[in-house]
Structure 1
Amino acid sequence: MTENQIDHDRLFKELLESFFAEFMELFFPEAARSIDLTQIRFLQQEIFTDVAAGERHEVDILVETRLKGQPGLILVHIEPQSYVQKNFNERMFVYFSRLYEKHRRKILPVAVFGYDRVRDEPDSFEIVFPFLDVLNFRFYKLELKKLDWREYIHSDNPVAAALLSKMGFRPGERVRVKLEFLRMLARMKLDPARMELLAAFFETYLKLDREEEEQLYRELGKMDKKEVDAIMQITTSWHEKGRAEGLAEGRAEGRAEGRAEGLAEGLVEGKIKAKQEVICRYLACRFGADSAAIQEKVPQLTDMDALDRVLDRLFVVGSLEEARSIIWEELSRFIQ
């Protein structure tokens, strides 16, 4: 997927609507302490038309909430910005003005700069005369590329985990960033839907190539067994889902006739291959080159139930011999 094909607005909208409180607590703690984060409602997108520029713009995230101990409602407007835009600070003021004109409420504006360039973006817009300061409009800004990813890896904040992929890291640190992301997810123990959302966001912006994936699994092999087990169980579902979707999509596009049969067949095949891949990667991670011989036998396990039984038992084995015994036990069911 190229940069132009990524729907940045949708990705940030899903992330911040799912973890709005966590986002505010992480990056704007002073505001978070004053806002009642238990009382939030996401409003429909506002559409502004700029006649002079000939453009239409949708306000991405608009939250209705209130301040603790104070009457009345306020709005929080969050504007993710994925590319450099001239006079963006002026646009933030225009959005603020339109929103205030319609809602007549206090509005807290927030800009999130997510592009891959380090810049000094302004956080204000002024209209000043020598004899009078007419306007000094200010907004919160978050420039992700300026953040040091290492400062967030010990957090149990899901937004921090997802946004590691947009923070400032060197190309040679990509594997380490992915590893720390996985460790954060393993600690947080989120429900599958939220975990999948974070994984989809992260891998959109930081997807390892094959060589980097191999390096990642070598690093996992040096870690504590319990932590590795937790990480491997998380990644099992991602491998399965990704392969199933890819095969199903390919079959659906490849032939119009028998599309339903192709989809069903592709889903099953994808799940089998995903489980086989996870078993092999786990063996390589835990036992290294010594497991090569038994890894060669894994593709012979093509029964879904057998693969599930192996996965259920594999994460608790204490030795390569135990792992080999489990796989041979399942293989023997079909040899007999």
Structure 2
Amino acid sequence: MTETQSHQSTHDHYHDDYDSPWKEALDAWFPEFIALFFPVIHQEIEWGIPHRFMDKELQQVVRDAKLGRRYADKLIQVWTLEGKETWVLIHVEVQGQSEPDFNERMYVYNYRLFDRYQVDVISLAILTDPSPNFRAGEYRCGRWGCDVQFRFPTVKLLDLGHDWETLEASDNPFTLVVMAHLMAQKNRDG
């Protein structure tokens, strides 16, 4: 095994270890996830109508994307309080470093889902990298007066770690996922 293969294997193992708990937690506690990270959005969803995970629909649009790896992507159908169908694309970025094409990838996934299914798609991102300087949430491109601007809400876990007491006091089960991730990151990074 070459050094590159060994590094890639370790890299993949790291992602597998961090990716799976996030996916499982999203499956188990999606409403709690939204309540913790995006409380305004949580208030606009009709939780009396069951939400539905749409993994097959997501795979249809991202399988040929060549914009980097996906980690803990979830597509969930919800209904607004006004009775409008909306799809929520959640991307949990569990990489240990920032990804240069992240904003572009979020834009591509959003427009591909809209183009294919003609339904409102809300893209949300959780950034778990340890860099305080990496911030995402906007993709822009344009030339000669033809411009595209795509903004999406993000939460940086590193920011939540500054208020550990609030995390400990929360009765939201998703805070345990956040705390476990932050502790593992702290132990790994020293």
- Same fold judged by TM-score > 0.5? yes
- Out of 13, 26, 48, which is 1:5 matched to? 13
Change in CA separation of 1:87 and 1:58 when aligned onto 2, cut-off 3 Å: closer
Aligned counterparts of 2:150 and 2:53: Cα–Cα separation in 1: 24
The answer to whether the 8 Å contact 2:19/2:71 transfers is: no
Compare CA radii of gyration and give the structure with the larger one.
1
CA distance in 1, matches of 2:148, 2:131: 29
**TM-score normalised to structure 2 length:** 0.76
User: Which of residues 155, 178, 182 is equivalent to 1:163?
Assistant: 178
Out of 100, 107, 111, the position equivalent to 2:125 is 111
- Match for residue 102 of structure 1 among 103, 110, 116: 116
Q: Does 2:79 correspond to 1:66? A: yes
Q: Tell me the equivalent position of 1:35.
A: 45
CA shift at 1:132, angstroms? Answer: 3.1
Q: What's the % identity of the aligned pairs?
A: 25
> Which residue number in structure 2 is paired with residue 146 of structure 1?
159
What is the letter of the counterpart of residue 5 of structure 1?
H
Matched, 1:132 2:154: no
Can you list the C-alpha shifts for 1:184-203, whole angstroms capped at 9, x where unaligned? xxxxxxxxxxxxxxxxxxxx
* 2:148 maps to amino acid: L
Between Structure 1 and Structure 2, how many residues are aligned? 167
Secondary structure of residue in 2 paired with 1:122: coil
From 98, 101, 106, give the equivalent of 1:92: 106
Q: Cα gap change, 1:5/1:95 in structure 2, threshold over 3 Å: closer, same or farther?
A: same
Task: Report the 3-state secondary structure (helix = DSSP H, G, I; strand = E; otherwise coil) of the residue aligned with 1:153.
Answer: helix
Higher RCO (CA-CA < 8 Å; seq separation 6+): 2
Cα distance, 1:118–1:207 mapped onto 2, change above 3 Å: closer
Residue 231 of structure 1: aligned partner: none
Maintained 8 Å contact 1:145/1:166: no
Identify if the C-alpha distance between structure 1 residues 102 and 59 changes in structure 2 by more than 3 Å, giving closer, same or farther: farther
Q: C-alpha deviations, 1:144-177, integer Å up to 9, x for none?
A: 012222232111010012211334xxxxxx6xxx
Mapped partners of 2:138, 2:67: distance in 1: 24
Post-superposition offset of 1:120: 3.1
Measure the CA separation in 1 of the matches of 2:130 and 2:69. 25
- Higher relative strand content: 2
Unaligned 5+ segments in structure 1 are 168-173, 175-204, 209-336
Q: Measure, in 2, the Cα distance between the counterparts of 1:22 and 1:116.
A: 24
Deviations 1:207-230 (A, max 9, x none): 98xxxxxxxxxxxxxxxxxxxxxx
Deviation at 1:21, TM superposition (A): 0.6
| Deviates most, 2-11 or 15-24 | 2-11
8 Å Cα contact 2:22/2:177 also seen in 1:
no
Q: How does 1:1-336 map to 2 (within 5 A)?
A: 4-6=12-14, 7=16, 8-38=18-48, 39-45=50-56, 46-47=58-59, 48=62, 49-50=64-65, 53=66, 60-70=73-83, 72-83=84-95, 84-129=98-143, 132=145, 134-147=147-160, 148=162, 149-167=164-182, 205=184
- Do the aligned partners of residues 153 and 54 (structure 1) sit closer, same or farther apart at CA in structure 2, a change above 3 Å counting? closer
* Maintained 8 Å contact 1:90/1:125: yes
- The structure whose residues are more often helix, as a share, is 1
User: Residues 273-323 of structure 1: CA distance to partner in whole angstroms, max 9, x if unpaired?
Assistant: xxxxxxxxxxxxxxxxxxxxxxxxxxxxxxxxxxxxxxxxxxxxxxxxxxx
Unaligned stretches of 5+ residues in structure 2? 1-9
Task: Return the TM-score normalized by structure 1.
Answer: 0.45
Where has structure 1 moved over 3 Å in runs of 4 or more? 53-59
CA distance in 2, matches of 1:125, 1:56: 18
Question: Secondary structure of 1:119's partner?
Answer: coil
Is the CA contact 2:22–2:72 (under 8 Å) kept in the aligned structure 1? no
